[in-house]
Amino acid sequence: MARIAGSSGPRTEEAIRRAGLSLIATHGYAAMSLRQLAAEVGIQQGSLYNYFRNKQEFLFDLIRGHMLDLHAALDAALLPEGSAEARLTRFTEFHVAYHVARAQEVFICYSELRSLEPDNLAAVVAMRRDYERKLGDILDHGCATGEFRLADTRMATLAILAMLSGICTWYRPDGRLSREAMQEIFTGMVLALARGEAAEAVAVPPRRRGALRAGIG
């Protein structure tokens, strides 16, 4: 890669982040070296230390930055008030769209938790729990108002997030389903689960059946 003019500044920092995400997603954190990262960006290895002290700090910064972006985007997307069903719909639509758009960051955020040192891991786990709590609050509210029928909202929270987040490992933009179709299908499944309507959870919404594009996988 051609050398980026200068070894500091927002442009270089963004290039380092993009290259780091790609290298970690492809090779894993343990296998990626700072020499390799610097070569990918086109700068001297020593210039990396203008941005982080060591490789662990770099990984933590990537994952923490992703979690901050996720929280901010969710807060902007969620309805400030309204029915639990409307808020759960908005949450599901947001989560699917975000995880499709930023699949690489999501993958690293899950797969490289094991590579974080204890203090860094604790900080990220706390951020993840805060995100889970936002969904849990919606489910708790829905149960309190009678909109939802859930025996255990904590388990439902984890089940919904596991189902929705898995999309980043298999979804292809050129596949059978558009992002909008995925949002609608997943919303139907999540709402059916929350309402206790298991039989409806796997049904494809009729108005979307004719709008699905050819070929996943």
Task: Give the model's pLDDT for residue 55.
Answer: 95
Query: How many residues are listed for the chain in this entry?
Result: 217
- Please, what is the average pLDDT of the chain? 87
Query: What pLDDT digit, counting tens, does each position of 161-186 carry?
Result: 999 998 888 888 787 888 888 899 99
Task: Provide the angle, in degrees to the nearest 10, between the axes of the packed helices 84-101 and 55-77.
Answer: 140
Region 65-85 average pLDDT:
93
User: What pLDDT is recorded for position 170?
Assistant: 83
Residue for token pair 């894993």:
28
Residue 8 has a pLDDT of: 53
Identify the pLDDT of residue 81.
83
Parts of the chain belonging to CATH 1.10.357.10: 55-211
Asked if residue 62 has pLDDT above 90, the reply is: yes
Mean pLDDT, residues 91-119 taken together: 93
3-state secondary structure the chain: CCCCCCCCCHHHHHHHHHHHHHHHHHHCCCCCCHHHHHHHHCCCHHHHHHCCCCHHHHHHHHHHHHHHHHHHHHHHHCCCCCCHHHHHHHHHHHHHHHHHHCHHHHHHHHHCHHHCCHHHHHHHHHHHHHHHHHHHHHHHHHHHHCCCCCCCHHHHHHHHHHHHHCHHHHCCCCCCCCHHHHHHHHHHHHHHHHHCCHHHCCCCCHHHHHHCCCCCC
* Bigger pLDDT: 186 vs 213: 186
pLDDT for residue 56 is more than 50 = yes
pTM of the model: 0.81
pLDDT at 200: 45
For CATH 1.10.10.60, the residue range(s) in the chain are 1-51
C-alpha–C-alpha distance, residues 48 and 61, integer Å: 13
| pLDDT over threshold 80, residue 203 | no
Share of the chain above pLDDT 90, in %: 71
Residue 10's pLDDT is: 84
pLDDT tens profile 127-149? 999 999 999 999 999 999 999 99
Q: Which of 7-21, 147-161, 173-187 has the highest mean pLDDT?
A: 147-161
Class of the CATH-defined domain 1-51: mainly alpha
CATH of domain 55-211: 1.10.357.10
